[in-house]
Amino acid sequence: MDRQMMSSRDIRSVGYDKNESTLEIELANGVLYRYKMVGEEIYEALVNSNNSDEYFHEMIEENYPKLKIV
């Protein structure tokens, strides 16, 4: 999955697989998480947010099933 770089304190990059409704978030510390059952609108809101860190912590982090990849 291709990921795009983010200019945020907590998030290094994000990627989205539309067919699988899967969001990948690489944190600034290098840890990569894969979130399942995430709608494309959530991904779009994250990458277009004025404060992606806040959006991630409030809307994604504990609201979707996740798997630590690295």
In this prediction the pTM is 0.93
What residues form DSSP beta bridges with 26?
13, 32
Q: How far apart are CA 2 and CA 9, in angstroms?
A: 20
Token pair for 19: 């067919």
Domains in the chain: how many in total? Answer: 1
CA distances from 62 to 1, 2, 31, 42 (A): 22, 23, 16, 14
Predicted pLDDT at 1: 84
Residue range(s) defining the domain that contains residue 29: 3-68
Tens of pLDDT, residues 8-58? 999 999 999 999 999 999 999 999 999 999 999 999 999 999 999 999 999
